Structures are given as structure tokens and as C-alpha cells.
Structure 1
Amino acid sequence: MCFTLVNAQNIAWQSASFDVVKSNYKTFKTTQYAHVFSNSKNNIVRLAPELEGLTGVEIPLELYKNGTKSPLRLKLKEKSVVLVGIFQEKNEQFLQLDNSPYKATLLLQNGVTITGLPAVNVYALSYEKGIHTILPNAKGLFAVLGVVKMKQALVARNAEFPDGKLWNPTFIVEGFSDEKPLFEIIGGENKPVIDEGFPGTEGIQGGFEGGRVVKVGDTYHMFPTERAGEKGVEMYYDRVKTKIGHWTSKDAIHWKRESTILQASGTYAVTEDDNPMNDRRAAIWSYMPVFSKKENKWYGYYLAYTVHKEIEPNHSFGRIWRCESTVAGIDGIAGPYKDIGIIMEPGLDSQPWEGRQGVASFFPYPVGDKYFGFYSGAYPFASWADYPKKSGKGWFVALAESNSLEGPWTRLNKGLEPIKTIHPLFVENPIVSQLPNGLYIAIFDGGPDGWGHHLPNMMGYSLSKDGVNWSEAHYWPIETKVDKWWDIMRTPLCLIPEGNDVYTIVYNAIDLKKRFHPTGMVKLKLNREVMEQRLKELK
């Protein structure tokens, strides 16, 4: 052992220079979201700060798992320590260091979490200056997480990060995988654009969640769910007595509240089931304005819930309402709006996967001479025998179809199965538009990495060539270009083209230090070359 092992924590481990010798192995920056294996979706979701910013080497996942690897040779430019991640599972697919000839020292127990794979211990291998084969003849998968200078104190500790098998590995992070990103994050606001205490937030205790932003002329119009709650009542109630507000802005940064479009009652249910005795408009969410060219007016689609004090989720048995602006034309977006009626609700066509919360959102979009609409469910029942209280976990979407925006809307395939090609466990509040080459793009909330849900914690998107079949999700790590002021990323409200292939996203997120959920803004730039390639790849 040539480096100094100490018990005091030293976060800044200094990297050492190296080259990969005569091979196709690629390097990566060791940071959150990094894909550590080539041709794989496994990425880092937890990382000891000692490793942050080092240079790792992508190991070919399948080659190492099946034992047909090619040697990894590194040219070290000084005495160095190579940091390797060893998976804590007794399995022939993973490298085992027990009784091995390799002189490795444990540095970081549970030092990294890689999605879909067992917990990782980080070991140190010491080498002199020169060319070396790393772990020659080793069988099984491991990770090369960095190379650091030998002349420094390296701290041995337990970082206590969880097992990566808690996360589903099937998500691709834009800019970190082997694929070229469709969108480059080019910047945005480094703090919320609407936060507690801003003008217009008076009486909104819990901040914002969901809705839509559209741009008419040079003005942005936002219709968020305002988690109003009641003074003197705990924050749980913020999710019940909600409003739909109308806000405007000229730059998507400075916002003015114009009016209240809808107000929920906040009245709790008196029965546990979906019963007309209960107030079915106790909470109102997810307002989606859509312009009808045929009728020359704005329609609003929104979600109304029954709410219950004891049963999770307290939002239950969602119904989708349609309303219309009483002012004709594109400038009638401010309303006022009048309710037309319910277009989708729990009923004989519902399936157990829609769960206690379904129907939980709705967004319509045109495809040819027809219309399709994403509708969602959550807290699924394993079977109808579990109705009304015994629900599981999962947030799913499926498609309905209609010949007009007015309806009637019919669940495709009678709603038998949700769409799991996007993500198998969580897709929430999708909003659909089209890219310049005609590809349909759905942006959505990719799910929290908090509250015990091991999900991407990023906004995501899916692509479709026909508006019906949707691709695997990609996710935007926007904190790589803007300061991360949130703990839990939530819902994108728009993908607005601004010209020159630049797009604006307004989004909601959660800072766990405060009750108020703020709103942020970020800019993306479309890569047209990648867009055309994606079109060719889609069936």
C-alpha cells in the first residue's frame, strides 16, 4: 500500500492523468447520471463526493458479464490509485474479490449507487507510473470510477448509499448515454421564477403543481394548479382546496396573476367509495387549454377529484371536465370559461390499473383527421376485489380516441393495458406537441426520487411517429446547466418553440425546506440531425 489511509474525511480526491491504451474503451466523467457501462442504461444516481468529477472508463456491460472481455490497459503518468467499483452480490456475473490475487483495499463501502445493479463498494488498486493491465484475467463485471494521485490522504468510510436494484434501470439521461442528445440544455433561471411571497401568490400556501403554459403572440399564458389550502390548516390540505389560476408573462420569467379560472370546494368525502353523495369537485387539477380551430375558441380540460381524509391517495376517482371560453378567437384564452360537462370518468370501461386515482389527467392532440388523448391512472388495484381501499403503486397512461375535441372519447383497446414502452412504472401529466419534422413529442413528469419512490427525478420526453406508439423515455438533467434549487423535480408545463430551434420549458418542482412549491424555467436547443435520426429509427 503506497497511499495514506486516514480516518478523517477528505472530500477532494485529486485526479491523476492517464490514457487508455489501444482499445475502444471510452471514458466518462464520474458524476450523477453518468452511464458507467457502454451500450447500457445503467447510470449513477448516488455518488460519494470524493469521486465527483473524476474520469472513469466505460466497461462493455455484456462482454464483462459473459466473460469475453478484452483487456483494459491504462498508461499512468505518475504513481496512481485506480478506483474500481465492486458489486456486493455473490454472482458469477460480478467480479468477486474474495480469495483473489488482486491486492485491493476497501475505501468506500456503499460508495456508489448504479441503477438496476447491486450496492457498490469502491476499492483502491495501487500502480507505479507506466502501462498496466487493470485486473487481468478477472471474471465478472466491475466499474472503473476514476484514477487518483497516490500522494494524498484517502479516507476510508461507509457512504451508506442504497442498493441500485431499488431503481429501474430503464431510463436514458440526455447527454450521459452513448446516444447523442436530441436537446441540449442551454441555460435558464438559476432560481424560481415564481416563489413564496411573489406578487400574486397571496393565499397560495402550497405553491404550484401541473397545468399548461401556451404562448399567444408575444404573451405566455400559464394555468397552474394553485395549492391554496387554508390558513391554520396543515400542509396536507394544500392538495385539496385548490384553484386554477391564470398568469401571464412576456418573458416566461416575470409573471402576473390575472384571475382565478376555477375553484375547488375542499369538501371531504363522507363515504370510502365512488359515491354521488361525495363532492366530486373537492380538488381541481391539471388544467389543459387547447384551441379549437373548428369552433374558433379555447377549450379547457381539467381534472376534478373526490377527496378522503384517511385513505391514500386522498385524491380519488378523478373525472375529466371540458369547459369553453365565452370569448371567441385566439385572444379569448383569458376566458371566462363555462363548464360543458364530463368527458371521461370511472365506469364500466375502467380497468384496475387506473386505480383509486384514475382518471388522473387528460391531454388531447390531433393525429390526421382524428384525436387521441393521454389519460392516466394511479394507485392501481391488483383486481377489482381490491376496490375501493386496497391500492398499490404505479402511475400509468393510456390512450383514448375521438373524432372531435368535444368527444365522445373511447378508451383504446378498452383500456386493458397502459402504455409501458415509455417507462414501466411512472409517467404523469403528458403534454403532446410536434417537432419540425412531424415527430410527436410528449413531455411529462418522470417521477420523484423522494418519498420512497426510486424514480428518475427529472422531466422526460417520449417520441412517436404516428401519435399512437411511443418510444422509451429520455430525461433532462437540467441541473447540469442551471443551479439546482429543488429537491424533487415535478411537472413540465410546456415545450414552446421560440425560433432558431430554441424551446422554453416552464416547470414545477419542490424544495423540501419549504411548504411552497415553486415554478422554474429552462431553455433547450433542438439538434435537428438527431431529430432526423430518431425519425428513421422509429417504426
Structure 2
Amino acid sequence: MIQKSKHIYCLFLIFLGFSVLAQNSSWQAAPFEVVNPNYKTFKTTQYAHVFSGSKHNIVRLAPELQGLTGVELPLESLKNGINLPLKLKFKEPVQVLIGIFQEKDNATYRQLNNAKLLLENGVTITGLPPVNVYAVSFSKGTHFINPEGKGLFVVLGVIKNNQKLLSRNAEFPDGKLWNPTFIVEGFSDEKPLFEIIGGENKPVIDEGFSGTEGIQGGFEGGRVVKVGDVYHMFPTERAGEAGIEMYYDRVKTKIGHWTSKDAIHWKRESTILQASGTYAITEDDNPMNDRRAAIWSYMPVFSEKENKWYGYYLAYTVHKEIQPNHSFGRIWRCESTVEGIAGIAGPYKDTGIIIEPGLDSESWEGRQGVASFFPYKVGDKYLGFYSGAFPFQSWADYPKKSGKGWFVGLAESNSLEGPWSRIKDGSNPIKSMHPFFVENPIVSQLPNGMYIAVFDGGPDGWGHHLPNMMAYSLSKDGKNWSEAHYLPIETKVNKWWDIMRTPLCLIPEGNDVYTIVYNAIDLKKRFHPTGMVKVKLNRDVMESRLKELE
């Protein structure tokens, strides 16, 4: 009887908890009118940009606020105290939800007295201090929300006055952990270049699918190309071994060849390359170590001049204990032994290393060395993105004392075959795309000739606070690249991942529709799946972006 009573009591507490959550997550919005000219509203949701003329956006918010209507205030004039006080008109008594930034003794931020604190640490806004959310009551009619017109704050919503509001600490992190702020496509003041129009609501390749036998850890990186009506994917297969720790999935890798007619249903055709999986015996870049211990990032490129497919791929030395374990990357080139466009399936033969750590390396390339490579034609020559990570502050830090950062630079050549030379005009690494995280860029051209690079925009996890979205950057000349824009594909497809990783392509399908195949991580699984999404190009925005680059 005692046990039964305890059981009923526990069920009651669970029910009560759900009731409280339901009350907290169902705040009823009230209609209002913004009287100030040129002030816009926004939907209070993840990625919303809360100030006009800025890149600050919401990356965490309490569910109670989801879907309310906020007011987009002018950032710079608010900071400088020169904006007109915000004026709102209400048809009924309301409570205005005001976010106050919690940074003591800083006159930049508005202070608020005699208001009810509803959500402590209730919102995270990139680049700004923690936000407490207060409820301020107003009667029916027209009111000034900030009569003094000074101090930075955010209006997150207006709700009906006659509802019970429970206070709590949402415990969201400090927005200053996200530095710098970033542009989310479709949420900023800028019109989006791409509209996300749909895709698969679950992985297109997942654990247990045909062809995944013997692949313990799933997929990461590589490239997808379309030849005729067939998609060809060359992913890094994190093979590992059954019964061996999860990290070994990243060491013993394969490059597989998969095909599909729709980018949804995939068939594994063959293994293109196989890594040794052998750990290093010294801590430096030493020929005693197996320099092909792990193989990653295979990029197929067709040479029209030689009428055959080339493959560029990354081979690492792997140390079992020193971070980063994947070190001293080298880029190899291979070529298909079968001529013509149909020779994409290979087999392939190695032709040698095209770029590696050496006397012309720069300290930003770091311990990870040359960590990816993608060549593309510009005029009568070729440029190639190459990357580095875990930089050395100076060469005195070699080989073990590395910092944080994932960078890209450009190399150049007169042909796809090489020789390739790092550009030495001071432009590397390229920080215009993002100051410290650009990974695995793949380049193509839009219909107006503008170059576009799609890449991994960095995780929100593993101790990092990055956008957690795939990104793109634009260039008119192939050398100078614009600030990254990030694609929130979870707004149109079910978010089955925790960590977004790498786009493998941007394939034109006609009618300005493009296919993106991507890798991502569900942290509940060892196996990293593959997904697919469709986006649609806005040609008017494309032309305006080209003019901005002139």
C-alpha cells in the first residue's frame, strides 16, 4: 500500500510538472501596433535578428517566448541614445516582455526597475550579455516603452494581461560566448539568396542501411557530383572496427563510392581508398610514421583538358595522445584509369602529393597541416582552397603547442596537375568569410558567373559556440570572399541532428533549384548520418549581391 501511494504521488508530481510547463509555454499574445515609422517587427524564434542594422540573433530562448512578436529596434542609435522613444498602441491591457542585458556598471544597457522578473537568463543573443526577461504592464491606449530613449534593450513580445505567469531561471548561457555574431539567411535585414524549399525529414543514409556494413561511425565530408541523371558521392566513411573505441572510427577510414538517381536512395558501389589506421610512433612530422594513417575529404574534379577524373584527397599522420590527433595533413592527387566522363567510378591511381607541410608552410596551418583542398578555375589559371587548423603562435610552438582555429587560404597553379604554390601576398588565411572557422569549402559558379563556396560553419557543441549551420560565401573574382551567410535548413525540414557538419555539394537541378547533400551528427548515435535538402536561388538577390562585390 505504501509503495502504491508513493507511485501515485510520483505520477502526481510528474503531472504537476507537465502542467506547470504547459502554463509556462502557452503565453497568449496580444495584438499591438508600432506607432514609430520604419520600426519593424520580428517573430521571436531561434535565429531571429533582434536589432535592425545588426547581426545579433537569438540562439537560445525559453519556450514561453516562442512565436511571440517582438520589435526590431535600431542598434546603433539605441547605443548612442539618439533614437526616438519606442511608441506602441494597445487595444487592451497588456504586458510587454522586455529583455534587459545583465552587465553591471555599463551605461550601454538599459536598466529596468519596478517590473516583474519572469525569466532569468531567458534568452541568449549572440555577442551580448545574458538577458533577463521582465513583464511591464500597460493599459489600453498608446504608450512610450522607453521614454528616456536611452540604453540597449530588446522587446520580445506583447502578451495579454489576464494570465498567470510563472517565474523561473531558464539558465541559458551568456551571448558573449558567440563571438562574432553572424548572418542567418532569411532572418536578417538582407533578403535571402536561397530559400529553403524542403528536403528529407530524416537521414538518407543511416545506420543499418544497405552498404553501411562495416562502417561503425558513419560519414563526414567528401563531395557529390552529378553525371547525367546519376549522383555520385565520395564520402569519408568512418569505418573503425567493431569493439574498438569510438575514436578509432576517425582513424581507420575509407573513401567510398555511392550512387543515386534521386539523392535520396543510395547504393554503395566500391571502395576508392583505404587508410591504414596505424598510429604514429613519434610526435613530430616524421617519415617513420605512417602518413596515410587516416584518409579524408575526397574531391573529384573532371579535367576537360585530359578528359578524365582527378581525385584530390587528404592523408593524415595520427597520434594517439597529442591533440589534434590528426596531424601534418598532405594532399594527394589521383586520376581515373578510365577516360571520359563515365570514368568517375575509377579505378584510380595515385600521381603524388601536390601540397604538404614544408618550408613554405605558414604558422596558421598549424599542427593539422593541410587539412583539405578544393581546386577551381579562375580565368586561365586555377585557385585552390587549402586549410589548416590548430595554429602555432610561432614556429617555436612546433610540434605540440597548438591553439584553436580552423582556417582556409588559397594556392594557385597553371593547371589541375600542378605544381601548386601557396599565395604569398599576405591574404592568407582568408578571414573575411569567418574570423576563425571555415572548413571543407567546395566551390562552384552561379548563373551570373559569381563564385560560391559552401562549407561547414562550425558546431554549437563540444565546447564551441558557432552557428551550427552550413554556410556559403560569394566572390566575384574567386580570390576575395564575402562574409558568410548561414542556412537554417531546420526551418523547413525536421531537425534530426544535434551537430550540423559538412555540405558535400550545391548541384543545380533547373528552375533555380539546387540539391545539397550534407553530413550531420545525432549525439545519441555513434553513426554519423547523411541528409539532403533543396534550396531555391533568388536571381534578383544574386544580381544585387554581385553589385555589392564590385
Query: Which residue of structure 1 lines up, in the alignment, with residue 480 of structure 2?
Result: 469
Q: Equivalents in 1 of 2:154, 2:36: separation in Å?
A: 19
Query: Which residue of structure 1 lines up, in the alignment, with residue 202 of structure 2?
Result: 191
Q: CA deviation at 1:14?
A: 1.3
1:49 to 63, 82, 102: 63
Map 1:452-463 onto structure 2 (within 5 A).
Answer: 452-463=463-474
Map 1:248-397 onto structure 2 (within 5 A).
Answer: 248-397=259-408
Q: CA deviation at 1:414?
A: 6.4
Q: Equivalents in 1 of 2:349, 2:425: separation in Å?
A: 30
Q: CA deviation at 1:21?
A: 1.1
Contact preservation (8 Å) 1:272, 1:388: yes
Matched, 1:94 2:105: no
Q: Equivalents in 1 of 2:542, 2:146: separation in Å?
A: 40
Query: Which residue of structure 2 lines up, in the alignment, with residue 4 of structure 1?
Result: none
Cα RMSD after superposing both structures: 1.0
Q: Equivalents in 1 of 2:235, 2:179: separation in Å?
A: 30
Give the 3-state SS of the residue equivalent to 2:464 in structure 1. Answer: coil
Query: Which residue of structure 2 lines up, in the alignment, with residue 497 of structure 1?
Result: 508
Runs of 4 or more above 4 Å deviation: none
Contact preservation (8 Å) 1:398, 1:415: no
Q: Equivalents in 2 of 1:128, 1:270: separation in Å?
A: 74
Q: CA deviation at 1:22?
A: 3.9
> Partner amino acid for 2:459?
P
Give the 3-state SS of the residue equivalent to 1:531 in structure 2. Answer: helix
- TM-score, structure 2 normalization: 0.95
1:423 to 434, 442, 466: 434
Q: Equivalents in 2 of 1:416, 1:36: separation in Å?
A: 33
Q: CA deviation at 1:416?
A: 7.0
Q: Equivalents in 2 of 1:480, 1:155: separation in Å?
A: 29
Matched, 1:15 2:15: no
Give the 3-state SS of the residue equivalent to 1:262 in structure 2. Answer: strand
Q: Equivalents in 2 of 1:237, 1:450: separation in Å?
A: 21
Query: Which residue of structure 2 lines up, in the alignment, with residue 33 of structure 1?
Result: 47
Matched, 1:61 2:75: yes
Query: Which residue of structure 2 lines up, in the alignment, with residue 170 of structure 1?
Result: 181
Matched, 1:129 2:143: no
**For each residue in 1:328-375, what CA deviation from the matched residue of structure 2 results, as whole angstroms up to 9, or x when unmatched?**
000000000000000000000111110111200000000000000000
Q: CA deviation at 1:8?
A: 4.0
Query: Which residue of structure 2 lines up, in the alignment, with residue 3 of structure 1?
Result: none
Q: Equivalents in 2 of 1:321, 1:147: separation in Å?
A: 59
Q: Which shifted more, 379-388 or 318-327?
A: 379-388
Q: CA deviation at 1:479?
A: 0.3
Contact preservation (8 Å) 2:78, 2:149: no
> Partner amino acid for 2:27?
W
Give the 3-state SS of the residue equivalent to 2:547 in structure 1. Answer: helix
> Partner amino acid for 2:429?
P
Q: CA deviation at 1:139?
A: 2.1
Contact preservation (8 Å) 1:95, 1:138: no
Q: Which shifted more, 13-22 or 332-341?
A: 13-22
Give the 3-state SS of the residue equivalent to 2:540 in structure 1. Answer: helix
Q: Equivalents in 1 of 2:376, 2:226: separation in Å?
A: 17
Q: CA deviation at 1:390?
A: 1.0
Q: How many pairs does the alignment contain? A: 529
2:418 to 407, 427, 431: 407
Give the 3-state SS of the residue equivalent to 1:413 in structure 2. Answer: coil
Contact preservation (8 Å) 2:408, 2:428: no
Q: CA deviation at 1:502?
A: 0.2
Contact preservation (8 Å) 1:242, 1:266: yes
Matched, 1:154 2:165: yes
Q: CA deviation at 1:71?
A: 1.6
Give the 3-state SS of the residue equivalent to 1:472 in structure 2. Answer: coil
Matched, 1:119 2:130: yes
Aligned residues with identical type, % of pairs: 84
Contact preservation (8 Å) 2:48, 2:57: yes
Matched, 1:223 2:234: yes
Q: CA deviation at 1:138?
A: 4.5
> Partner amino acid for 1:356?
R
Q: Equivalents in 1 of 2:548, 2:151: separation in Å?
A: 32
> Partner amino acid for 2:92?
E
Q: CA deviation at 1:254?
A: 0.2
> Partner amino acid for 1:158?
N
User: Which sections of structure 2, spanning at least 5 residues, go unmatched?
Assistant: 1-18
Contact preservation (8 Å) 1:439, 1:464: yes
**For each residue in 1:181-237, what CA deviation from the matched residue of structure 2 results, as whole angstroms up to 9, or x when unmatched?**
000000000000000000000000100000000000000000000000011101111
Q: Equivalents in 1 of 2:93, 2:212: separation in Å?
A: 58
Q: Equivalents in 2 of 1:140, 1:129: separation in Å?
A: 25
**For each residue in 1:369-398, what CA deviation from the matched residue of structure 2 results, as whole angstroms up to 9, or x when unmatched?**
000000000011111111111111100000
> Partner amino acid for 1:527?
N
Q: Which shifted more, 264-273 or 385-394?
A: 385-394
> Partner amino acid for 2:173?
P
- TM-score, structure 1 normalization: 0.97
Contact preservation (8 Å) 1:39, 1:60: yes
Q: CA deviation at 1:266?
A: 0.2
Give the 3-state SS of the residue equivalent to 2:461 in structure 1. Answer: coil
Q: Equivalents in 1 of 2:455, 2:169: separation in Å?
A: 36
Q: Equivalents in 2 of 1:68, 1:13: separation in Å?
A: 33
**For each residue in 1:274-327, what CA deviation from the matched residue of structure 2 results, as whole angstroms up to 9, or x when unmatched?**
000000000000000000000000000000000011011110000000000000
**For each residue in 1:36-58, what CA deviation from the matched residue of structure 2 results, as whole angstroms up to 9, or x when unmatched?**
00000000111111101110000
Q: CA deviation at 1:135?
A: 2.2
**For each residue in 1:108-144, what CA deviation from the matched residue of structure 2 results, as whole angstroms up to 9, or x when unmatched?**
0111111111111111101112111102114210000
